[in-house]
Every structure is written in structure tokens, then in C-alpha cells.
Amino acid sequence: MSKIHAAITAVGGYAPEYILTNKELETMVDTNDEWITTRTGIKERRILKGEGLATSDLAVPAVNELLKKRGIGAEEIDLIIFCTTTPDLPFPATANIFAHKIGAINAWGWDLQAACSGFIFGLTTGAQFIESGKHKKVLVVGADKMSAMIDYTDRATCIIFGDGCGAALIEPNDEGNGVIDSILRSDGAGIPFLHQKAGGSLKPASHATIDAREHYAYQEGQAVFKFAVTNMADVAAEVMERNNLTADDIAWLVPHQANKRIIDATASRTGVTADKVVINIERYGNTTNGTIPLCLWEWEKKFKKGDNIILAAFGGGFTWGSVYLKWAY
Ligand code: UT7
């Protein structure tokens, strides 16, 4: 009997309407379009505006689109892995809030926190549930309302991040397509360079933490950049080598969209040519858990059945990794 793989069978995406351009950022902090464009590749990002709207509200339209495409109802989903760094609430899990909103009454689920690597951690985790035969329809959501934790007086972070969501449905595949291999890494030595100082059990919210602006994302960009350039590129190359793949065998490289220069370094290390690298950073910035599934969603029509695709990510924690999958439709 051939091995069951977990294959992506549908994708959905959603980017909120409001467009925060580099020009508008120029009016908010001491920056300029030229600096942002040359240092990051970002021109604009989307922001979820409106009272009472949270990360789960980014996921609802994305997943409703996915379900419609796949022609199934929410009640058919077995498991929801909700990858996010900006949960609606500290608890309960956004997976629960979201499942209730879309009517996924037969699913269980949880939130997965691996910062920008969340989606590939979630995809790999979900794949195990499919491969084991335990579940038939697993939804992996990557969503973040980064604007909820960004300090719009800090030019080092506010220019990079945006809000958005992408989602993938995975199902059993016996044709050899789906998730073939992944290499994932976590290293807490990276904590000082990218974290949120307060709001957890270490330092619960207080007047003092708010006055000290400790509820915003804190990043030492240059340090993160150095680790990201090396680790994301190396792990993508490693997963290719382990599967005897050369750059010519790769149809698409789908990297996390944090900085165009990190994407270029990953492409150059793997040898994948620019025409095969999926990039939408100029329009969305870094949507954290949303970047990779948003890319899959936007490129879906260009993918062909059997295409070898490499996903690669690097994020806070540090976390990083790469997934090798064969497109299934
Ligand atoms: O998503 C996963 C994790 N995150 C990442 O992968 C992000 C990794 N880091 C980066 O993408 C980059 O480090 C940044 C885009 C955040 C910063 O770019 P950089 O090239 O590393 O800039 P830098 O921090 O080394 O700063 C260079 C100069 C500094 O000025 P001086 O000291 O040379 O005079 C900064 O003050 O650029 C200045 N600068 C800015 N200037 C205009 C920093 N931010 C800005 C800005 N506009 N927004």
C-alpha cells in the first residue's frame, strides 16, 4: 500500500482593506519610502481597522473562501491548528473562537505559537494527524493582526509588519503528493532579539508595563536579520539536499516575507532562480503567520499538480524551518 501523504487541497486568504503606505508612514515616524523600499522591499501593508475586530476576523473570510472552493461545509473539518502570535485573547484559544464563528462544530483545535515560522510548524503538525489516519480534514490557519502589537512610534518595527491571513486545508493523498519532508528548529537563545516584554506570566500587564511601552513587539533588527539570512537559507538548502533535489527540480520557493534581502539570500543559497521565488512582500509586508499561506493563496493558479515546492521561514524564538511538498492539484 502506498504511503498516505497530507496534501493541501484548498487555500484561502484575506488581507484587510486599509492600505498603510510608506508615504503615510512618513507622516508618522522619521522614515522615507526610499529607505523602506531599499532596506526591506515593502511598499505597503494592510491594517485591520474597526472596533471589536481581531485576528479571528481575518481568518473567517479566508476560510469561508477556502471551504467554498473545496465545496465542503465547516462541520466537515476535524481539526483546526490556528497559528498566530496575536491571539484574540490570552485564553481561550483563538482556534475555539474562530471555530465558533465559522460553525466548525465537529472540530477540535488549538493555537500554535512559533512566531513567523508558525504556519510551517502547523502544516507539519497537521500532516502527522493525516498521515496517522486519525483525521481526514485538517485546517491550518496562519493569521496575525500585527497592528495590535506594533508601536507606531518605533520606526524600526512599524515599517515592516502588516495584518493578514492565509489558510490551507490538508487531506490524505495516495498519489505521492503532499508534505514530503520538513526540518524545523527552535532555539531560545534568540529571545533577547525579538519578543514582547510584558503581558505574559513573567510580567503581567500593569500601569508600569504600559507606561514603559512593554506590550509592543520589540526587535533588534540587525541581529535578527543576521540569524534569519543564515538559518532560513541553510535549512531550505538542507531539506533540498536531504531529498536529492537540485534547484532545477524546484518549481517554486515560497519564503517567509520579512525582508526582501532575506528572501534573496535564501534564493541565492538554494540556487533557485528569481522567476521561481514567490514574493508579495511589497504589498503586505510581514504578516508573521500569514506570509506563507498568503503566498500560496495568491500563486495557487500558477502551481501545477506534482510541482516541487519548498517553504522556508524564520521567526522570533528563534524558530525556523523548511517544508518540502508536492502540489496536489
Ligand atoms: O519576521 C521574522 C523576524 N524578523 C525579521 O526577519 C526582520 C529582520 N531584520 C530586518 O529586516 C532589518 O534589520 C530591518 C528592516 C528591521 C532594519 O534594517 P537594517 O538594514 O538592519 O537597518 P539598521 O537597523 O541596521 O539601521 C540602519 C540605519 C540606522 O541609522 P544609523 O545608525 O546608521 O544612522 C537606523 O537608525 O537606518 C536607520 N533606520 C531607519 N532609517 C529610516 C532604522 N529604521 C529606519 C527607518 N527609516 N524606518
pLDDT in tens, 14-58: 999 999 999 999 999 999 999 999 999 999 999 999 999 999 999
* Host H or E run for residue 260: helix 260-270
Same domain, 230 and 318: yes
Which amino acids are annotated catalytic? 116, 256, 286
Do 34 and 112 share a domain, yes or no?
yes
In the predicted structure, residue 1 carries a pLDDT above the cut 80:
no
CA-nearest residue for atom 5, ligand 1, is 258
Range of 107's domain?
A: 5-175
What is the CA angle 39-165-42, rounded to 5?
15
Residue 31, ligand 1, Cβ within 6 A: yes
Question: What pLDDT, on a 0 to 100 scale, did the predictor assign at position 125?
Answer: 98
Quick check: 144 pLDDT over 60?
yes
Residues 157 and 197 in one domain: no
Q: For the chain, how many structural domains are there in total?
A: 2
221 CB under 6 A from ligand 1? Answer: yes
Q: Judge contact between 113 and 180, C-beta under 8 A.
A: no
Give the model confidence (pLDDT) of 206-218 as tens digits: 999 999 999 999 9
Run of H or E residues at 187 = none
- Beta pairing partners, 182: 323
Let me know: does 254 contact 312? Beta carbons within 8 Å: yes
Question: Facing residues of 173 across strands?
Answer: 5
- Domain identity same for 75 and 154: yes
For a substitution probing ligand 1, which of 119, 144, 225 has the most ligand atoms within 8 Å of its CB? 225
Q: Which of 24, 33, 37, 39 to mutate to test the pocket of ligand 1 (most atoms within 8 A of CB)?
A: 39
Separation of 283 CA from ligand 1 center, angstroms? 19
CATH of the domain at 256: 3.40.47.10
pLDDT at 6: 98
Q: Is 119 helix (H, G, I), strand (E, B) or coil?
A: helix
Last residue of a domain, one of 160, 175, 190: 175
Q: What is the pTM of this model?
A: 0.97
Q: What is the mean pLDDT of residues 183-205?
A: 97
Give the CA dihedral 192, 270, 180, 139, nearest 10 degrees. Answer: 50
Nearest to 62 by CA among 290, 309, 219: 290
Where on the phi/psi map is residue 23: left (φ > 0), alpha (ψ -120 to 50), or beta?
A: alpha
Neighbours of 17 (CB within 10 A): 9
Q: What is the pLDDT of residue 2?
A: 73
195 lines ligand 1 (CB under 6 A): no
The answer on 192 and 154 residing in a single domain is no
Classify residue 161 by its DSSP letter: B
Residues 220, 159, single domain; the answer is no
186 and 128 within one domain: no
User: What is the C-alpha separation between 86 and 150, in angstroms, rounded?
Assistant: 11
Q: Pick the last residue of a domain from 159, 175, 191.
A: 175
CA 97 from chain center: how many Å?
A: 19
> Measured from the CB, is residue 40 less than 6 Å from ligand 1?
yes
Same domain, 53 and 140: yes
pLDDT at 247: 98
Regarding whether 193 and 302 lie in a shared domain, the answer is yes
- Give the cell for residue 320: 525556523
Local confidence band at 261 (pLDDT 50, 70, 90 cut-offs): very high
Express each pLDDT in 78-127 by its tens digit. Answer: 999 999 999 999 999 999 999 999 999 999 999 999 999 999 999 999 99
Contact 219, 286 (CB under 8 A): no
DSSP summary character for residue 3: P
Dihedrals φ, ψ of 237, to 5°? -65, -40
* Dist CA 122 CA 142 (whole Å): 8
Q: What is the mean pLDDT of the chain?
A: 98
Do residues 124 and 204 share a domain?
Answer: no
38 and 157 share a domain?
Answer: yes
> Which of 144, 175, 206 is the last residue before a domain boundary?
175
Is residue 277 scored above 90 in pLDDT? yes
Q: Are residues 259 and 132 in the same domain?
A: no
| Buried/exposed code over 94-116 (b: 16+ C-beta within 10 A; e: otherwise) | bbbbbbeebebeebebbbbbbbb
Across residues 135-149, what is the average pLDDT?
A: 98
